[in-house]
Amino acid sequence: MNVLLMTQQWQHLQKGLETLSSNLVLPDLVPVKLTENHQTLSPAQLADVMPTLAQGRGWLMFPSEVVRLPASVSDDSPALQAEALVGDETWQLHYSGDGQWALNRFQVTLSDSEHATHLASAVQHLADGEPWDTLEYHQLWTLDDSGRPYVEVAILVDMKENAR
């Protein structure tokens, strides 16, 4: 992907909006390098990774509840979905519906435009309940085959806690 070209196109669009005196503000984009690892897990493999996932910062969804991480989890009920910061990676877990789980591990590092794989924009979502007010994500932009930018993946990068 040509991140330099995408950066130039984005800057050109921003200048055009400024010229039009538009109130539309585009998000700041930062060149980053994405490293990803994708695994398909059996129930036994899921049991092996759950202790590490459960010690991350994030959330874990079961059929009957959502658990805030880090937490102690039991093997009583299968996980449906999870998102957690584990070390310097973001882990995303999804049940695929066929007795297997997809574990996607992402690591995002700042990069210069020449070596970047994506452009990142920060997005915050309101959290539902304690202990966080907001969940912060990086949307990772890339170009499709016809050169149009799109968000390939959004990755959890932080949880802002309530100031109470």
Largest CA distance in the chain: 60
Position 104 scores a pLDDT of 98
Position 19 scores a pLDDT of 58
Position 94 scores a pLDDT of 96
Reduce the DSSP state of residue 19 to 3 states and report it: helix
Contacts of 35 (CB under 8 A, 6+ apart): 106, 107, 108, 109
Q: Would the pTM count as exceeding 0.85? A: no
Position 90 scores a pLDDT of 97
Give per-10-residue mean pLDDT for the chain (164 aa): 66 60 66 95 94 93 89 82 95 94 96 87 77 83 85 90 62
Position 130 scores a pLDDT of 60
